[in-house]
A = this chain, B = another copy of it.
Amino acid sequence: MTRAIEAVAFDAYGTLFDVHSVGALAEAMFAGQGARLSAAWRVAQIDYTRLRTLSDRYEDFLKVTEDALVFASKTLGLDLDADRRARLMAQYDCLSAYPENVAVLGSLRRMGLKLAILSNGTPAMLDAVLANAGMQGLFDHVLSVDAIRRYKTAREAYDLGPAAFGYPPARIVFVSSNGWDVCGATWYGYRTFWVNRPGNALEELGVRPAGEGRDLNDLLAFVGS
């Protein structure tokens, strides 16, 4: 890549932080069901962001996340009492960061790139998870869709990156582990990189990210090439 790239915007949940790290606590609460609860919780969480955006019924990501936990628990027939509910929700403040993150973010900064998070999470949720992972200060911008009350993949959500950096989206690399998010961002006009840790199939949406790798280390090669 010729150095047309000026900045990198990262999705948070699933990309920098492992949303399934809640599965261990869920497994301790509901033996044999932790992974299923974690997966169903995530599916409902994403569904609710889309449905609320399509119908202009925004509620913030903390509320959506808790609603999704309640629905997933009911669907699986699990007894989610107030204590379990609070402890599972609290995990969202201390999701595991993927191990290579901090070194890669430091390398990108030394290359002179500006960095941002562009997330569905609320500012308070993002502050907490960044602080607990020791990742404050690594980002020039922590951008939350809460400012515009529409979730990704709405255009207004992706607008936050160019607005904050002052560069057009083609000069910003957008990084996500979520196939639908990289597709939405590619449609929008970002230069996109898909962190495809599990080796998933690409979504059949008629669009392809500019780059793909197995973890953030592969992003370094992509940006530096």
Contacts and interface: CB of A to CB of B under 8 A. Distances in A.
B184 A71 contact: no
Given A55-B153, A154-B54, A187-B55, A48 B205 contact: yes
Contacts of A204: 44, 48, 67-68, 70-71
A184 B75 contact: no
A201 B71 contact: yes
Interface band, chain A: 20 to 34
Given A47-B180, A50-B50, A180-B47, A55 B201 contact: no
How many copies of this chain?
Answer: 2
A225 interface: no
A200 interface: yes
A191 B152 CA distance: 29
A160 to B, nearest CB: 15
Interface of A: 44, 47-48, 50-57, 59, 67-68, 70-71, 74-75, 153-155, 180, 183-184, 187-188, 200-201, 203-206
